[in-house]
Amino acid sequence: MKQKTNKVITKLMLPVMACAVMLYSSCRKSDMTPPVTKAAQTTKPANNALSKQIVANLAHSLGGTYGGASTLSTVNNNSAFCGLVTDSLVDRNGVQGDTTSHMGGYLTFAFNCDNGKPSGFTASDSLATTRQTPDGWYQWYYIKQDYTIKCLNGSNQFVGVNGTNHYYQFMKLHAYDPNDTKLSNDIQSCNFVLSDLKIDVVNKDILSGTALFTAKGQDWDVTGTVNFVGNHIADVTIDGTVYHIDIRDFSW
């Protein structure tokens, strides 16, 4: 029988929900705040720089850094999860140094079972976060994720992921530095369609699978494919050129 809960999160759910509900505290200002020196970039960045930002956005979303469901959670074998559905509203404030933040939205989980044993879950979330400092720096970002996550080979170490992922941000007083290889490439939105990702949740590696993407900036857009090949490498194809990206660079 399907059960629903809106307020109470049982101890059994904590291994799965901990990353999802308390993510705001894991966002690091050093990861999210570019130098405050120049006006916003309006021309398209170089594809090699874009490929790194695209993989960073996807890795952070899959790992829960931006909020919402984390695909790095193992599937609990307790049969009490079978048929359980949780709908949780999120309304959280946070302070980190001189940065204040607020996260709001919803998280929904439905646990799936095969032969009376948990085999995975579906996760849907929609979360908006604002972050700001007294000197006028301001960031607003929104994520919407819909995942189907399944335990593979009867092992909690490997999970399969299919679904969609959307990320959008607005930032005031941010900069574009063509020499920056990390997170300052001025992508306003990324849309991903995920197909048959196989994730090693212990070693934090995406062993296989693809993600089709569309990334947009203020006056440009680009489409391409991310192919995960294992050993922490993602091959990003943009305009016929392949860029090899090490996903360990993004602390997901």
Confidence category of residue 252, pLDDT binned at 50, 70, 90: low
pTM of the model: 0.75
Q: Which domain holds residue 46?
A: 35-250
- 48 within domain boundaries: yes
Is there a contact between 55 and 247 (Cβ–Cβ < 8 Å)? yes
H or E element that contains 54 = helix 47-63
Tokens of 155: 């092992």
- 20 within domain boundaries: no
- 27 within domain boundaries: no
- 168 within domain boundaries: yes
Mean pLDDT for 82-108 is: 92
Mean pLDDT for 190-194 is: 96
Q: Which of 102-116, 148-162, 182-196 shows the lowest per-residue confidence on average (mean pLDDT)?
A: 182-196
- 22 within domain boundaries: no
Number of domains composing the chain: 1
pLDDT at 224 over 90: yes
Round the average pLDDT of the chain to a whole number and report it. 78
The residue that leads in pLDDT, 16 or 82, is 82
DSSP string, 33-46: ---S-SPPP-SPPP
> Given the structure tokens 């995960």, which residue do they identify?
228
Confidence category of residue 171, pLDDT binned at 50, 70, 90: low
- 18 within domain boundaries: no
- 2 within domain boundaries: no
- 112 within domain boundaries: yes
The residue that leads in pLDDT, 171 or 103, is 103
Question: In 3D, which of 194, 84, 94 has the Cα closest to residue 145?
Answer: 194
The residue that leads in pLDDT, 225 or 67, is 225
> Given the structure tokens 């494919």, which residue do they identify?
225
